[in-house]
Amino acid sequence: MIFFKGNSLAIVGFIIISIILFVAIFAHFLSPYDPNYIDINSILLPPSLDHLMGTDGLGRDVLSRMLYGARISLFVGFVAVGIATLIGIILGSIAGFYGGWLDSVIMRLVDIMLSIPTFFLILAVIAFLTPSIWNIMIVIGLTSWMGVTRLVRAEFLSLRQRDYVLASIVMGTSNGKIITKHLLPNSLTPIIVSSVLGIASAVLIESGLSFLGLGVQAPTASWGNILTDGKEYIQFAWWLSLFPGLAILVTVLGYNLLGEGLRDVLDPKNK
C-alpha cells in the first residue's frame, strides 16, 4: 500500500486483485457448497440467505461456482501470460541485442502476428484442438507475446549504447552475461507492467472462449461458462449473467488499475 502512496486508483486496483487472489486461493474453504453438486429441488432459485447468488439450471450454487471459477480464470491468466512473457523476452532480447537480419526476421514475424486479430486466431487454433484448460493457456500464450517482444527490443536498443554495456563488451564479457546481468534487469519495468495488463486480457479471452463453448468445459466452473448457462435463462434468471459479468469486469478493471499504478511508480520518467 505504501508502494502506491499518492495513487488512489492503483491502491484500489491492488485491493481488488488482493481480494480476488485470496478468494481464488481459499475457494475450497470459502465455498458454502460443492460447486458441481446437482440439486433438482433447488433449480433456478434467486439469491437468498441459503444461496447468496442463487442457483443455476441444475440446482448448483452459483456462489460456489463463482469462487472456483475465480481460481480457474486467474490460473489461466497467470500461466498464459507467463508463456507469452517468456517468449517475448527471448525474442525481444535477440532482436534488440544482435540486430541485423535476426532483428528483421523477428520484427517481421511480429508484424505478421499483429496483422491477424488475436481472438480470431485463437478461435481458429482452438477449433483444431480438444478444448481443455491447458490448450487454452498454451494457445493464449503463443498468440500474445508480440507486445513484450517489442518492449524488450526497444529497451535493449536503448541500453546497449550505455557506457557500462560498451565497457563490458570491451572487457570480453560474454553476450549471455551482458544480456542477463546488465540489459534484462534494467528492462524489467515495462515487462512487469505489460505482464500485469496481459493478465486482464488473458482473463477476458478465456472468458470469451468459455462463453462460446471452446474454453473450460463443464462441469469445471469458470466465469465464462457460467455466463453461457445464464444466456438460456436471461429473461427470468438475471443472477446467472449479472454475477459472472461483474466478476470479469471488476477483475479486468483491477488489473488495469494495478498495471497503470505500477507504470507510474516504476517509470523514472514519471517521478
Q: How far apart are CA 205 and CA 137, in angstroms?
A: 10
pLDDT at 162 (0 to 100): 79
Q: Does position 264 have pLDDT exceeding 80, yes or no? A: no
Q: Does position 268 have pLDDT exceeding 70, yes or no? A: no
* Residue 250 CA from chain centroid, whole number: 14
Arithmetic mean of pLDDT over the chain: 85
Nearest Cα to 220, choosing from 151, 158, 133? Answer: 133
Q: At what angle do helices 133-142 and 62-98 cross, to 10 degrees?
A: 30
3-state secondary structure of 19: helix
Q: Does position 106 have pLDDT exceeding 70, yes or no? A: yes
Predicted TM-score (pTM) of this structure: 0.86
Nearest Cα to 66, choosing from 253, 202, 223, 234? Answer: 223
Q: What is the mean pLDDT of residues 113-125?
A: 81
Q: At what angle do helices 62-98 and 100-114 cross, to 10 degrees?
A: 150
Q: Could you report the per-residue pLDDT of 150-161, keeping only the tens digit for each?
A: 999 998 888 887
Q: How far apart are CA 70 and CA 155, in angstroms?
A: 34
Q: How far apart are CA 61 and CA 39, in angstroms?
A: 9
Q: Could you report the per-residue pLDDT of 54-103, keeping only the tens digit for each?
A: 998 888 999 999 999 998 888 888 999 999 999 999 999 999 888 888 99
Confidence of residue 121 (pLDDT cuts 50, 70, 90): confident
Confidence of residue 187 (pLDDT cuts 50, 70, 90): confident
Q: Does position 267 have pLDDT exceeding 70, yes or no? A: no
Q: How far is CA 208 from CA 30, 60, 65, 219, in A?
A: 26, 22, 17, 17
Q: Does domain 7-34+50-270 have CATH number 1.10.3720.10?
A: yes
Residue for grid cell 447468496:
52
Q: How far apart are CA 222 and CA 244, in angstroms?
A: 9
Residue for grid cell 469445471:
220
**Lowest-confidence region among 10-19, 77-86, 128-137:** 128-137
Q: How far apart are CA 170 and CA 156, in angstroms?
A: 18
**Lowest-confidence region among 74-83, 126-135, 138-147:** 126-135
Confidence of residue 219 (pLDDT cuts 50, 70, 90): confident
CB neighbours (10 Å) of residue 244?
Answer: 29
Task: Specify whether the CB–CB gap between 243 and 199 falls below 8 A.
Answer: no
Nearest Cα to 17, choosing from 266, 270, 210, 203? Answer: 203
